[in-house]
A and B are shown apart, each in its own frame.
Chain A
Amino acid sequence: MEHLEHLAKQQWLIPALPLLAAAIQSLLPRSQRKLSAGLCLFAMGAACVIAVRAFLATLGHHGEGHEEVRAVANFTWFEYGTTTLAMGFILDPLTAGMAAMVTFVGFFIFLNATGYMHDDENFARFFCFLSLFAAAMLGLVVSNNLLMLFMCWELVGLCSYLLIGFWFHKPSAAAACKKAFITTRIGDVGFFLGILMLYWKTGTLNLYDGGNGALEQAGGLATVAGWWGLSAATTIAVLLFIGAMGKSAQFPLHVWLPDAMEGPTPVSALIHAATMVAAGVFMVGRMFALFAAGGTPEHPTFAMDMVLWVGCFTALFSASIAVAQFDIKRVLAYSTCSQLGLMMMSLGAGGYSAGQFHLLTHAFFKALLFLGSGCVIIGTHHEQDMRKMGGLKKYMPITFWCYLAGMLALSGVPPFAGFFSKDEVLLETFHRSKIAWGMATFAAFLTAFYMTRQMYMVFAGKWRGGDHGHGKTAGHGHGHGHHEPHEVPWNMWVPIAVLSVFAVFLGFAGTPLIGGNLFHHYLAPGEHADTEGAGLVMGISVAIGALGIFLGYLVYGRKPMQHADEPDPLAKMGGLFTALNRKWYVDEFYEATIIRLTMATGTFFRMFDKLVVDGILHGIVALTRAISQVFRWIGDELLINGGFDAGCEGVRASGGLLSKFQSGRVQNYFAFLGVGTILLLAAYFFISIQ
C-alpha cells in the first residue's frame, strides 16, 4: 500500500501534463502546426505512461482479500480565516482504469486528428483545445474532491463548447455548441445543488479522507432526512444524477448530443463517445456509495430506481431513433446515448462493476467507430450522408475491417468486447427487474439492426457518391483529381487498427468464462456476483443480436441501394419511420413548450412593466409636479427672485474676473490642485521644523 500512496501523490501529473501543453500551445503562433500537435501527443503519451503505471500498481493489489484498494493524497487548497478548503487526488481501481483508458484512447484519437484536421487552417488552435480538454477530463478522473470534480466537469463542458463550435462560421455548429452548453448547464444546476447539500450535511467535499470523507459518511447520511421525504443521501444522489443526466445525455436532457456532431469527427470520438459523456456515468460510479446508501438489493433507494429507469428508457428510446437516421455520425450519436443508458441502467440495478466495465469497453469500440466514420468522411471527401456512400469496402479495405470489428463489438456478437460487457449489464438488470431487462434486450436488438443497416449502406453495394453534384468535392484540398473515395493516410488508420484490437479482445478481461470475471474482482472485490440465470440471459442476448443482424441483412443486404435518392426500405412503415427520423419530435416539443413558455413569460412581464410599474411612476411624477407648481407660485416668484436678482449682478462682475483662470482643461485644474497640495505640505513642514 505504501507504493500506492506514493503513486497517489503523483496522480496530479496526469492532468498537469496536458494542461501545461495547452498553456504552451495557446501561446504558439498559428503557423506552428507540427509543434502544436507534437506537444499535444507528447503530453498525452506521457500522461498515458503515468496512468498505466498507476493502473498496473493497483492491478498488483487485487486479490488481497476483500479489502478495497485505495490511496488518496489530500492537501489544503486554501485557508480562509478558520475555514479550510481541502482538495485531493485519488488512486483506486475506478480512477486508474478510467485514467488509463482516457489517456490511451485519447492518444490515438489525437493521432487520428492530425490526419482529419490536416487541411484546417486553425490546426494549432484545435490541438490546444484538445489538450485542455484532456487535462480537464483527467482532472475530473483523478480528483478526490467533489468541488474539484465539478470544476473539471465545467471545464470539460467549456472545452466541449469550444470544440463543437470549432467551425463556428457554420451557423449549425454555432447553434449546436450553444445548445450543448445550455442543456448540460441545466443538469449542472442539479449537480451544484447536490454539492452544496453534501457540504451542508457533511462539512467536507473530499470523497475519501481516512474515515471523514463525504462518501465514508454515506451510511450516516442515509438516516438523516433530506427533501421531498427522501433521506439526505438519496436527495443528494438524485441532485447529482440530474447533473449526470445532462453530461451523459440521458433523456430528457439528451437533445444536445446528436447536434454536437457538428464538431470535427475526432472531437465526436473523444468527447461524445469515449470520455466526456462517460463522465456522467463515471461520476455516478464514483458517488455510488451515496446512491446505494440506505437501500437493500430488495428495496433499493429512490435514486437507484431513478438511475435504472432513466437509463433503461434512454437506451430503448435512442436506439429506436438511431434506426432511422441517415447521417453516419448521427447514427453513432444516438447509439452512444443508448449505450450510456445501458450503463446507467446497470448502475441503477446495482451492477457497479458491470456498468463501469461496459463504460470501458464501449469507450474503445465507440471511439473506433467514430474514428472509422471520420476516415470514411475524409475518404469520401467530406460526405456524411450514408445514402451517398456505398461500396467503400473496395476503396477503403483497412477502414472496413476495423469498422467491422467495432460494429460487431457494439452489436454484442461473441467474443467481441461489447458482448461480454453488455451481457453482464443485462444480467444485472435481469436480477433487478424483468421489464427493464426486456426493454434493454430490445434495445440491444435494435442496436444490432441499425449497425448492420449502417454497414450495408456504407460499405456494401456500389459507390453512389457520383450521383450528385460534383461541385461539392471540387476544389477540395484532398482531391487527387478524381472524386472516387480513397484510403486514408497512416496516421488515420493506425489508431483505428489499434483500437480494433482492443474492441476484439478487451472483453476477456470481464468474461465469466475464464477464471471468473477478472474485472469484477479488480473493481469491486466486495461486491457479490449473482450468476443465476446467466446462461439464459447470455443465450437470449446472443440470439437477439444474431436476429438483429439477420433482419438487417434481409432489409438492407439482399438488395443494396442503387441510387442515393432511393427511399429507405423501412420508409414503408410510414408515420413511425418519419417520427423516428425526426427523433420522436423531442426538439419540436421543447420548441413548443419550454421555449415558448419562456417567451410568453417575458412578454407578460413586459406588459406588467408597461402597465402597472410605469403607471405608478407616472402617477408619482404628476403628483410631484403639482406640488412643485404650488411652491413656484408662492415661494419662488414672489420672494426669492426679487432678492436674488440684485445679488446676481455683483457675483457676475467678480465671476468675470475669475473666469480668466477657467481654461476648460481638466488637467490644468488638476495641476493647480497639485501645486496647492505641495504648497500646503511645504508650509506644514516648514512650520513643524520651526
Chain B
Amino acid sequence: MTIPLGHYLILAGVIFSIGLAGALTRKNAIIVLIAIELMFNAAILNLIAFWHYKQYAALTGQMFAVFAIGIAAAESAIGLALVIAIYRQSKTVDVDEIRSLKG
C-alpha cells in the first residue's frame, strides 16, 4: 500500500474534529454521546495506523486498540444509562436544560 501514514492521521483528525463539533453544538444528549463515540474511534484508528506503519510485528498496537474498544463500550453503556436516568428525572435529554451541575 502506498498510502502514507500521514493520510490516516489526517483522516483521524478530521473525524475527531467532526465529533468535537457535534459534541459542542448539538442539544440532544444522545447525539453528544454519538459524537464522543466518533472521537473515540478516531483515536483508535490512530492506534491501528501507528501499529501498522511502525510496530507491525508487535502485538501491542492491536492489544491497545482492543482494550480501548472495550473501555469505549463500557463508557457508552454508562453514558446511555445516565441519559436514561436523567430523562426519567427531568423528562428531557436536552443538554441545555440539564443544569443541575450549576454551582
Task: Decide if A and B touch, CB cutoff 8 A.
Answer: yes
Identify whether the interface residues of B are mostly helix, strand, loop, or mixed.
Answer: loop
**Chain A 647-670 residues near chain B, CB threshold 8 A:** 655, 658-667, 670
Interface size range on A against B: 10 to 19
Any B CB within 8 A of the CB of A592: no
- Residue contact B103 to A666, C-beta cutoff 8 Å: no
Q: Which of B32, B95, B101 contacts A662 (CB 8 A)?
A: B101
Any B CB within 8 A of the CB of A539: no
- Residue contact A671 to B95, C-beta cutoff 8 Å: no
Q: Hey, which chain A residues are within 8 Å of B101, CB to CB?
A: 662, 664, 666
Q: Hey, which chain B residues are within 8 Å of A662, CB to CB?
A: 101-103
How near does chain A come to B39, taking the closest CB pair, in angstroms? 11
- A666–B83 alpha-carbon span in the complex (Å): 13
- A667–B21 alpha-carbon span in the complex (Å): 11
Any A CB within 8 A of the CB of B24: yes
- A661–B103 alpha-carbon span in the complex (Å): 8
How near does chain A come to B88, taking the closest CB pair, in angstroms? 18
Q: Hey, which chain B residues are within 8 Å of A665, CB to CB?
A: 95-96, 99
Q: Which of B20, B23, B102 contacts A664 (CB 8 A)?
A: B102
Q: Hey, which chain A residues are within 8 Å of B102, CB to CB?
A: 662-664
- Residue contact B23 to A670, C-beta cutoff 8 Å: yes
How near does chain B come to A665, taking the closest CB pair, in angstroms? 6
Identify whether the interface residues of A are mostly helix, strand, loop, or mixed.
Answer: helix
Q: Among A660, A662, A670, A671, which residue has the most Cβ atoms of chain B within 10 A?
A: A670
Interface size range on B against A: 10 to 19
- Residue contact B99 to A664, C-beta cutoff 8 Å: yes
Any B CB within 8 A of the CB of A533: no
1/0 contact string of B77-103 vs chain A (CB within 8 Å):
000000000000000000110111111
- Residue contact B95 to A666, C-beta cutoff 8 Å: yes
Q: Which of A655, A659, A663, A671 contacts B24 (CB 8 A)?
A: A671
- Residue contact A667 to B24, C-beta cutoff 8 Å: yes
- A660–B20 alpha-carbon span in the complex (Å): 25
Q: Hey, which chain A residues are within 8 Å of B32, CB to CB?
A: 666-667
Q: Hey, which chain A residues are within 8 Å of B100, CB to CB?
A: 664
Q: Hey, which chain B residues are within 8 Å of A660, CB to CB?
A: 103
Any B CB within 8 A of the CB of A674: yes
- A655–B103 alpha-carbon span in the complex (Å): 9
- A670–B24 alpha-carbon span in the complex (Å): 7
Q: Hey, which chain B residues are within 8 Å of A659, CB to CB?
A: 103
- A660–B102 alpha-carbon span in the complex (Å): 9
- A529–B32 alpha-carbon span in the complex (Å): 73
1/0 contact string of A626-661 vs chain B (CB within 8 Å):
000000000000000000000000000001001111
Q: Hey, which chain A residues are within 8 Å of B95, CB to CB?
A: 665-667
How near does chain B come to A492, taking the closest CB pair, in angstroms? 51
By Cβ-Cβ distance, the 10 closest A-B pairs, closest first, are: A664-B102, A659-B103, A664-B99, A662-B103, A664-B101, A666-B95, A671-B24, A667-B24, A667-B95, A662-B102
Return 15 A-B CB contacts under 8 Å, by A number: A655-B103, A661-B103, A662-B101, A662-B102, A662-B103, A663-B99, A664-B98, A666-B32, A666-B101, A667-B24, A667-B25, A667-B32, A667-B95, A670-B24, A671-B24
User: B-contacting residues of A (Cβ < 8 Å)?
Assistant: 655, 658-667, 670-671, 674
**7 new A-B contacts at CB < 8 Å, known A667-B32, A671-B24, A674-B20:** A658-B103, A661-B103, A662-B101, A664-B99, A666-B101, A667-B96, A670-B24
